[in-house]
Copies of this chain bind each other. A is one copy, B any other.
Amino acid sequence: MSLQTSSYSHLDISNIKSSCATCSLRELCLPVGLNTQEIQKLGDVVSHKRKIPRGGYLHHTGTKFQSLFAIRSGFLKTCVLEQDGRQQVTGFHMTGELLGLDAISSEIHTCDAVALEDSEVCEIPFAKLEEISLSIPSLMHHFHKIMSREIVRDHGVMLLLGSMKAEERLASFLLNLSRRFSIRGYSEYNFNLRMTREEIGSYLGLKLETVSRAFSKLQDESIITVDNKHIQINDIDRLRLKMGNSSCAT
């Protein structure tokens, strides 16, 4: 299974002409119910495509913010570099998601965005997006929802980091990935991780050894099958039970 392949088959995009406008569909366009003219406006703004090879940077911490990026294909992580040189992963991002929301406030990127596989993004000049939002209320409203959703997502991670133990965190993480793959038309039971154990650990507030042990534990219980980066979920219900008390899966 290749995750690089775009899969919009279940979405109605037949009325969209510009190939690049499609990149922001999932989050930015489709749910809003724009008319043809509005889609045209948005398409004009979202025009510039950019390819990022595996390991390449979409943006660096400290650089000037000008555009949001809609992921057209691929998989990226965002991370902050701490004084001591260690890095903390703040998120993993896949097709259809929007990057750069954190940079709006200071107009400076507060994190690095790194491609974990060859990726393609659409650049969305933020000033232009705001400009056309003024004439497309539903677009503005939808954008507010996207930002809000990001806040909810972060609260979920805070909850995870603040109150769950290692195994629960990993279960929560896998279920989250599973759901996101599923939404994009991939199997929710079989997928390849794009990130290392260390990156997972960084995201989950654990050391890589602890992540590895948690994987092994879940495998010993036959809940998942782990083959290096390939994960198979054998019993998603029991995996859900692992999360236990925590209300938020995010």
**Which residues from chain A sit less than 8 Å from chain B, CB to CB?**
80-84, 86, 88, 90, 101-106, 110-111, 130-131, 133-134, 137, 140-141, 144-152, 154-155, 157-159, 161-163, 202-205, 244-248
User: Which of A82, A104, A106, A151 neighbours the largest number of chain B CB atoms within 10 Å of its CB?
Assistant: A151
* CB within 8 Å for A151 and B154 given contacts A86-B245, A141-B130, A159-B80: yes
Cβ A155 vs Cβ B245 within 8 A:
no
In contact, A152 and B105 (Cβ under 8 angstroms): yes
30 cross-chain CB contacts under 8 A: A80-B155, A80-B159, A82-B247, A83-B244, A83-B246, A88-B158, A88-B162, A90-B155, A90-B158, A101-B151, A102-B155, A103-B148, A104-B144, A104-B145, A104-B147, A104-B148, A105-B145, A105-B151, A110-B155, A111-B155, A130-B137, A130-B141, A131-B137, A140-B140, A151-B151, A154-B154, A158-B158, A161-B161, A161-B205, A163-B205
Q: Per DSSP, are chain A's interface residues mostly helix, strand or loop, or mixed? A: helix
B150 contacts A151, CB within 8 Å?
yes
Least distance between A28 CB and chain B CB atoms (Å): 14
Most B C-beta atoms less than 10 A away, residue of A88, A155, A244: A155
Q: A147-B151, A161-B161 are in contact. List 20 more A-B contacts (CB 8 A).
A: A82-B245, A84-B244, A86-B245, A88-B162, A88-B163, A102-B155, A104-B144, A105-B145, A105-B146, A105-B151, A111-B155, A130-B141, A130-B144, A134-B137, A147-B147, A158-B158, A158-B161, A161-B162, A161-B205, A162-B205
